[in-house]
Amino acid sequence: MSDRFLVSGGARLSGEVAVGGAKNSVLKLMAAALLAEGTTTLTNAPEIADVPLMAEVLRGLGAVVEQQGETVTITAPAEPKFHADFAAVRQFRASVCVLGPLMARCRRAVVALPGGDAIGSRPLDMHQAGLRALGATSTIEHGCVVAEADALVGAPIALEFPSVGATENILMAAVLAEGQTTIDNAAREPEIVDLCEMLVQMGARIEGAGTATLTVDGVDRLHPTTHRVVGDRIVGATWGIAAAMTRGDVTVRGVRPEHLQLVLNKLGDTGAKVETYDDGFRVTHDSRPVAVNVSTLPFPGFPTDLQPMAIGLAAISDGMSVITENVFEARFRFVEEMIRLGADARTDGHHAVIRGVEQLSSAPVWCSDIRAGAGLVLAGLVADGVTEVHDVEHIDRGYPHFVEILRSLGGEIERVSD
């Protein structure tokens, strides 16, 4: 039996929330610490369930990992182990990001195919193709990615799609390769920029962070560093969308508004008043939101991680919204749970058509992934009665102190253990 949330509808969220480091960055930075013997320190690390999971993966590779609050230290050994076993890796997708560092340090890696959220197919073809371009062999054997190289040599690499994971693994392998590597059609997400900044602090030579072309000149070795994790734009935007849905007034601190420009523009289109600051933003809404259309795309497009929140917003907006999912095909599983809550929604391939209703109705619903779970809680905030949200351990993987923050903003939510 898993924990569940009891969410009472009707509260108007109001107040200020501080957002910590990004889940989509900290796990990759932890893996990158394997690239240099010695102790690397990460500050502003989020207190989420995935951080200790990644710590277990790194410990299995010979690292010493400690976490005290928002500080994580990783001491990488002189000779890391190269086999990331199934028991640790299967629990979450981001564990595959140890593949690049292991190839860079050990010239071989055996990494169990990862598990993670049920949001669609995320094959490792581009990860493997990138390693092969650098001179490695890479196959799938007995449920593991098996890669090996006598030497890694820089090469031009063009990605079919700006995959965040493939960009990260190729980048981390290339920093210790011989010669120059170019990655065309690279992912441009702020979390990629954060990884590049930390690698440069460690002594890597990287140009083009935040653009579609990364140029990496390999170096002989890297050194440990101390790095502050970039703020979590997805968590920050979740609270901003919650403000619009509940006709509230929420100030978010700890994120850079330029990382959420399109999202904030969409909130403005719904009728919200949006103010931006150097380290955050404020969303105020005092009427029913106006329906808007959303298409998810890689950065700087609308993040796929915010698609469930966009659907929740559309479900209670005035008018019809079309939500198009261009990244993960199975993310519309969330719509089935929204229909339980009274949403007028239909899906057809990559599109969901939602006709807003004035109020949702409470019902038992189930989380299929981190973001779907957060979206269901937001929907429960604008439903009549008490909504039971089950399998909330997913939410713990991406949102630190979720219940406490919602309560501090005036939300009525309770965690119940069975």
Q: Which residues are catalytic?
A: 117
Strand partners, 386: 8
Q: Is 305 annotated to bind ligand? A: yes
Q: Which residues contact 267 (CB under 8 A, 6 or more apart)?
A: 240, 241, 244, 274, 283
CA distance 191 to 274: 24
CA distance 372 to 343: 15
Can you point out the beta strands (E) in 234-313? Answer: 249-253, 273-277, 280-284, 294-295
CA 41 to chain centre: 21
CA distance 307 to 375: 9
Q: Is 23 annotated to bind ligand? A: yes
Q: Is 340 annotated to bind ligand? A: no
CA distance 186 to 213: 6
- Per the CB < 8 A criterion, the answer to whether 417 and 19 are in contact is no
Q: Is 93 annotated to bind ligand? A: yes
Q: Is 81 annotated to bind ligand? A: no
For 382, half-sphere exposure in the C-beta direction (CA atoms, 13 angstrom radius) is 31
Can you point out the beta strands (E) in 164-235? Answer: 180-184, 205-207, 213-217, 226-228
3-state secondary structure of 286: coil
Contacts by 140-147, CB closer than 8 A, 24 or more apart: 140/113, 143/86, 143/112, 143/113, 144/86, 144/110, 144/111, 144/112, 144/113, 145/96, 145/99, 145/109, 145/110, 145/111, 145/112, 145/113, 146/109, 146/110, 147/99, 147/103, 147/108, 147/109, 147/110
- Per the CB < 8 A criterion, the answer to whether 391 and 367 are in contact is yes
For the annotated binding site for UDP-N-acetyl-alpha-D-glucosamine, the residues are 93, 305, 327
List the binding residues.
Answer: 23-24, 93, 305, 327
Residues at the binding site for phosphoenolpyruvate are 23-24
